[in-house]
Amino acid sequence: MKNLELLITKAWQDNSPMLTTLAPLSALYGVVGRVRKSLYDNDKLAKYYAPIPVMIIGNITVGGSGKTPLIIALVKYLQDKGINVGVISRGYGRADSSPAMVFADSTPKDVGDEPCLIVQSTNVPMAVGANRGQVIDLLIKNNPTLQLIISDDGLQHYALHRDVEWIVVDGVRGFGNGKLFPQGFLREPLDRLNGATVIYHDSRTERYDDSALLMHLAPSKIIPLFHDKSDKNHILAPQKVYAVSGIGYPARFFKTLTELGFDVMEKPFGDHHEFVLDDLMDLKDLPIITTSKDAVKLRELAKQHNHTIFDNVWVLPVQAVLSESVYGEMDRVLNELGIDKL
């Protein structure tokens, strides 16, 4: 499965001619998606209406677009303003699909890798599960004073009524060949962006007008996997390294390391990959650098295996840098929804 995912991802990147053979599947995917959306839009299928406003942050492409760092940045901003915000997610990669709360000591196996990272970064109330209505009920039951719920992804989960939609677009990656999955990496047609609030993930600000909502990811200092137990002065100078990544769009991670001066040996795995010790055992000759999302899983793996290889694993944290227009739009949303600090 992992090899097939990587093969298709490479075909998208190269715009391989073989993708034309997938056109019939893409056509079927598009028809099913439009019919399903129409049924919900016209109240032919029942929706769940939350008792408090729901804001969805998603994308129309397969793979990473920067949603999770954006959500972390927005949650911190809202918390600083005194807004009682909660987060929900499907919890991809977890062993169970039933609703569950996420805590600082939750594991990726129990709640998913991204929820672990979000809660560890913000301590925000969060719940996961396949049925978003049940997830929201659980979250509010445990946090009755919540004022706003942010849904990490779920743009295509039309069974959930949403008051606000933000769509994150990777301005560098773009939309590839502009085809629907699996011929391309679009989850929905491009006309889905019409009238939507779009956040462009792109550091090349000169390409956009002053009103554009922009973000980019800024790398922080590379830290050891277990940085809390390490010498804070212990640094990793640019050198030849293995870059291990199980995220949706690893090319951005590899490019960032290269720009930081590292000689990168790329080791991509499928999105939400569940790491095992053998994934690392052939990488003992060089330092290993991974992403914050993957680090959540590798720390759990290290607890299961007392192996020295984890002493040579490093993490490249990133944080979302948002334009003032994004914060302005968030304030406008709060005002429109009538949300003020408690």
What SS3 state is found at 161?
Answer: coil
| CA 107 to chain centroid | 17
Q: Is 44 annotated as a binding residue?
A: no
- Taking a C-beta distance cutoff of 8 angstroms, is the pair 238, 264 a contact? no
CA atoms of 15 and 261, how far apart (whole Å):
29
CA atoms of 154 and 88, how far apart (whole Å):
9
Q: Is 195 annotated as a binding residue?
A: no
The letter for the amino acid at 176 is G
State the DSSP code for 192.
G
- Taking a C-beta distance cutoff of 8 angstroms, is the pair 119, 106 a contact? yes
Those residues with Cβ within 8 angstroms of residue 200's Cβ, 6 or more apart along the chain or in another chain: 169, 171, 208, 212, 213, 214, 215
- Taking a C-beta distance cutoff of 8 angstroms, is the pair 268, 293 a contact? no
CA atoms of 12 and 174, how far apart (whole Å):
12
Beta bridge mates, 263: 240
CA atoms of 143 and 164, how far apart (whole Å):
21
Q: Is 338 annotated as a binding residue?
A: no
Element (H, E) at 321: strand 318-322
At residue 29's C-alpha, the angle toward residues 161 and 92, to 5°, is 55
The owner of tokens 């550091």 is 203
Q: Is 151 annotated as a binding residue?
A: no
CA atoms of 187 and 37, how far apart (whole Å):
12
- Taking a C-beta distance cutoff of 8 angstroms, is the pair 139, 149 a contact? yes
CA atoms of 180 and 32, how far apart (whole Å):
12
Q: Is 61 annotated as a binding residue?
A: yes
Q: Is 65 annotated as a binding residue?
A: yes
Query: Which residues make up each annotated binding site?
Result: 61-68
Query: Which residues make up each annotated binding site for ATP?
Result: 61-68
